[in-house]
Chains A and B, each alone.
Chain A
Amino acid sequence: MNIEGTIRQFIVENFLMGEASRLAGDKVSFLDSGIVDSTGVLELVTYVEETFGIAIEDDELLPENLDSIVNLANFVRKKKESRQPISQKQI
């Protein structure tokens, strides 16, 4: 499954309790549509960090990074690309 699909599944299961029909599209704002609230963001961040092996900094908790499936998937891709393998980092 691609990143969008993985995130979509998490959103549907965890915030919509399985009701996929309540998600109008991958570009819908989580907050404006009420799908994710401010405490829900923390759940989302924890999930993304654990699933994709990235660390999200406080100053990255921005709507343009997190507030829709598309934004979040793009953000994850960007983070993964910029991440250097640990072995190289140590050197």
Chain B
Amino acid sequence: MCGIAGIVSIDNRRAFAPSLLEDMVLIQSHRGPDEGGIFLAEGAGLGHARLSIIDLSTGSQPMANENESLWCVYNGEVYNYIELRPELEKRGHKFKTTSDTEVLIHHFEEKGPRAFNDFNGQFAIAFWDISRKRLTLVRDRVGVRPLFYAIVEDQFVFASEMKAILLHPSIRSEMDPEALDEIFTFWSVLPPKTLIKGINELPPGSYLTLENRKIEVKSYWQPQFPAEGCEDGRPLSDLVDELKSLLIDSTIIRLRADVPVGAYLSGGIDSSAITAFIRNYTSNPLKTFSVTFEDKNYDEQEHQLQLAKYLDTEHKTINCAYQDIGEIFPDVIWHVEKPLVRTAPAPMMMLSKLVRDSGIKVVLTGEGADEIFGGYDLFKEAKIRWFWGKNPESNWRPKLLERLYPYLALSPGKTKIYLQKFYRAGLELPRAPQFSHFPRWSTASKIKAFYADGFRNRLGDYDPVDSYIRTIPPAFKDWSYLGRAQFIEIQTLLSSYLLSSQGDRMAAANSIEGRYPFLDHRLMEFAAHLPPKYKIRGLFEKYILREAVKGLIPEDLRRRVKRPYMAPDAVSFLYKGAPKYIDEALSSESLKNTGIFKPNMVQNLVRKLSKLASDRIGFKDNMSLVGILSTMIFHDQFLVNFAQISSDKIKRWREKNIIFNYRGKHEHRRDYTAVHR
């Protein structure tokens, strides 16, 4: 994990103070506290906050090619750098380091943007070509590592986190109501939109070039599925063998690091599989980490311990109580940089702290398996509804819905007829792109009932679902029900919520790097071509993955039905003695001043939920409370008090004496502002 930042003068005239670039690096220092680096050239500056993982001694950034005509700052890992290097050496490149950074600089030099398809990893990279005065930004296929940009007057500003861009003195920060409306539909805002008007997120699998005042964004990778009926037709046993070898390789290359690597254990099959592969196919000493919950409705400790014992790992846990979530939530929002409809990221921040305190910088985790093998209940819902939609008058087909969500205290399965009515909505449109996600999106959209009239007017007739559907590729309509649902899941939730809010940001908050073997693009492409019946067999999810780990994990764990990772939501904020910020954020006065939600409705919600135990609060109310509270915190941190909060953070990092290595021509550093004014 690292943080990157940069400023490019679009018309080559306007200069900036190097101290701005330093501040942009410092405010992201949690991403990389080991070193700071700045490169200054005519018309551009690059900044880097480093977390040293590979080539500890000479891997500092910004880094350049042999003649220093191409410079680079980079956050992430290109795991196959070892395989890419010999070809580059053959072509005459002289390497000064053993780092992956230098490999990708030379590879980009050779192939330009075509190089990105050769990179296997998770990355956000900026290249500055001095002679052409050309900036290239690129982001990995599924968006594991973040990258944002904005045009501020005649400067192009980019960074790993939005807060660095917000430091620019000329930026006007204003919330984009459409982005909030997207969060209250999809759970997250879809790139290129962000919560702040004018700041864009570079979409996953895309690159951007800026040259001669022209900005171009192009996609180099998107998830793709075969037409229905044209899936991989090989026998199951062959597919299981290939899956296993892909998983072993994708796990092994993710252990490449010059520091020790650990693993998260959630208690489910995905992280168990990864940990088992590490144990069985490498000699890596194995440290594992888990969150446990005081509220037993969320706790998976029993299964975590079972696996840790079985694989003989050095296991550590951190226990999470309601109070913990309530207390750290503002910090969570500071790192996530967007409102949330669930608190689930918060315990992940506690977990990354435990990892950091244990002297580990890198962890492998099981994220992505649910998206690529159809693990979520949403996919089962889609399967049942698709099956039911073929014969909507059937009495027994919808009864399958009752088998979903058995782990919820307020299981919708207990209200059978209602449940059917709920899922019947949209049933007549099985080929509509939103078919699979209609139930989830309509539940989240209930929060919009709290919108204040003025805010609703600002939204006009914006419809996030319509707007998203217009971006879906034409081939989508030919894919299976599962391929379609997976595509939407990967595009709307994986990158901007799961990998970002719950992944990158919660790990980076404590200077930890997460690595995701299931998101190796070779594995994703293989899984996309599997027949749906090998992903969800009957209503048994991730069937083929379970086959691939036979004999590697305990049999009962291998057969266990998925229980999604969740954390206590509303109750984390409504207990006696809860932190003061909650009352302040939800007070009539704050709500009225912010103008987003109706104060009376919010207070009635709080009154209602304060009386209920955690297992008596439904999805809709939990989401509403978390969504409203996090929006209020976000508004306060990023729009009202940003100047104060950011200068305090920068000051604290400066006091830690981070040393900045300056690169580039010396006169740029000494007298940068004067030279270019």
Nearest CB in chain B to that of A60: its residue:
B417
Q: A34-B446, A39-B410, A39-B620 are in contact. Are A19 and B418 (CB under 8 A)?
A: no
What are the residues of chain A within 8 A of B618 when measuring CB–CB? 37, 39-40, 42-43
Contact of B419 among A17, A38, A45 (CB under 8 A): A38
* B-side interface mostly: helix
Are B620 and A63 interface neighbours, CB within 8 A?
A: no
* A45→B605 CA distance, assembly (Å): 19
Residues on the A chain within 8 Å of B619, using CB: 37, 39
Q: What separation, in Å, do the CA atoms of A64 and B233 have in the docked complex?
A: 48
Whether, in the assembled complex, A49 has its beta carbon less than 8 Å from a beta carbon of chain B, the answer is: no
Contacts of A38 in B (CB 8 A): 412, 415, 418-419, 421-422
Q: A38-B418, A61-B417, A63-B418 are in contact. Are A13 and B604 (CB under 8 A)?
A: yes
Say which one of B187-195, B319-327, B595-603 lies at the interface with A: B595-603
Q: Does A58 contact B (CB under 8 A)?
A: yes
Q: CB of A71 within 8 A of chain B?
A: no
The smallest C-beta distance from A14 to any residue of chain B, in angstroms, reads 6
Q: Are A18 and B604 in contact (CB under 8 A)?
A: yes
Contact with A along B611-647 (1 / 0, CB 8 A): 0000010111000000000000000000000000000
Shortest distance between the CB of B299 and any CB in chain A (Å): 21
A37-B618, A39-B619, A62-B417 known; A17+B605 contact, CB < 8 A: yes
Interchain nearest-CB distance for B612 vs A (Å) = 9
Instruction: Flag whether B416 is at the interface (Cβ < 8 A).
Output: yes
Q: How distant is the Cα of A42 from the Cα of B619 in the complex, in angstroms?
A: 12
Q: Are B449 and A22 in contact (CB under 8 A)?
A: yes
The answer to whether A54 has its CB under 8 Å from any CB of chain B is no
Q: Is there an interface contact between A39 and B412, defined as CB atoms closer than 8 Å?
A: yes
Is B608 within 8 A of A13, CB to CB? Answer: yes
CB distance from A62 to the nearest CB of B (A): 5
- Residue B443, interface by CB 8 Å: yes
Measured between alpha carbons, how far is A11 from B419 in the docked complex, in Å? 19
B 487-524 binary contact with A (CB < 8 Å = 1; else 0) = 00000000000000000000000000000000000000
A41: interface (CB < 8 Å): yes
The reply on B450 being an interface residue by CB < 8 A is yes
Chain A proximity mask over B410-430: 1 for CB below 8 Å, otherwise 0: 101011111101100000000
Which B residue's beta carbon lies closest to that of A65?
Answer: B417
Q: Which residues of B contact A19 (CB under 8 A)?
A: 449, 598, 600-601
Please determine whether A34 and B442 come into contact, CB atoms closer than 8 angstroms: yes
Contacts of A63 in B (CB 8 A): 417-418, 421
Proximity string of chain A (1-25) to chain B, C-beta cutoff 8 Å, 1 when within and 0 when not: 0000000000001101111001000
Separation of A63 and B422 alpha carbons in the complex (Å): 11
- The number of residues on chain A lying at the interface, defined by a beta carbon within 8 Å of a beta carbon of chain B, is 23
Give the residue name and chain of the A residue nearest to B412 (CB).
A38
CB-CB contacts below 8 Å: B434-465 with A: 442-443, 446, 449-450
Q: Does A31 contact B (CB under 8 A)?
A: yes
Which residues of A have CB within 8 Å of B601? 16-19
Cβ contact of B415, chosen from A14, A18, A61, cutoff 8 A:
A61
**Cα A40 to Cα B449 with chains together (Å):** 15
B450 touches A17 (CB 8 A): yes
Distance in angstroms from A67 CB to nearest chain B CB is 8
How far apart are the CA atoms of A63 and B604 in the complex, in Å?
A: 27
Closest chain A residue, CB of each to CB of B607: A13
Asked if B416 contacts A58 (CB within 8 A), the reply is yes
A31 to B415, alpha carbons, bound, how many Å? 12
Contact A17 B602 (CB under 8 A): yes
CA–CA, A75 to B84, complex, Å? 72
Q: How far is the CB of A68 from chain B (nearest CB, A)?
A: 13
Query: Quick check: B446 and A37 within 8 Å, CB to CB?
Result: yes
Query: How many angstroms from the CA of A38 to the CA of B618 in the assembled complex?
Result: 9
> Does A40 lie within 8 Å of B416, measured CB to CB?
no
Task: Give, as a whole number of angstroms, the nearest-CB distance from A83 to chain B.
Answer: 22
Instruction: Please indicate the chain B residues that have their CB under 8 angstroms from the CB of A61 in the complex.
Output: 414-418
Would B598 and A41 count as touching, CB distance under 8 A? no
How far is B620's CA from A31's CA once the two chains are assembled, in angstroms?
Answer: 13
**Contact partner, B608, options A14, A31, A58, Cβ 8 Å:** A14
CA distance A86 to B619 in the complex (A): 37
With both beta carbons as reference points, the residue of chain B lying nearest to A34 in the complex is identified as B446
Residues of chain B within 8 A of A46, CB atoms compared: 616
Q: Give every chain B residue within 8 A of A39 (Cβ-Cβ).
A: 410, 412, 618-620
CB-CB contacts below 8 Å: B93-114 with A: none
A21 → chain B closest CB, angstroms:
11
Contacts of A40 in B (CB 8 A): 618, 620
Q: Which residues of A contact B449 (CB under 8 A)?
A: 16-17, 19, 22
Partner pick for B421 among A14, A17, A31, A58, CB 8 A cutoff: A31
Cα–Cα, bound, A17→B449 (Å): 9
Give bound CA distance, A41 to B618, whole Å.
10
**Nearest residue in B to A64 (C-beta to C-beta)?**
B417
A61 CA to B619 CA in the complex, in Å? Answer: 20
Q: Which residues of A contact B418 (CB under 8 A)?
A: 31, 38, 41, 61, 63, 66
- Across-interface contacts of B421 in A (CB, < 8 A): 31, 38, 63
Distance between A23 CB and nearest chain B CB, rounded to angstroms: 12
C-alpha gap A38/B422 in the complex (Å): 7
Q: How far is the CA of A63 from the CA of B202 in the complex (A)?
A: 47
Inter-chain CA distance A41–B414, complex, in Å, is 10
9 CB-based A-B contacts, threshold 8 Å: A14-B608, A16-B449, A17-B449, A19-B601, A31-B421, A37-B443, A38-B418, A38-B419, A39-B620
18 other A-B residue contacts (CB within 8 Å) besides A17-B608, A31-B422, A40-B618: A14-B608, A17-B598, A17-B602, A17-B605, A18-B601, A18-B604, A19-B601, A34-B446, A38-B415, A38-B418, A38-B421, A39-B412, A42-B410, A46-B616, A61-B414, A61-B418, A62-B417, A63-B421
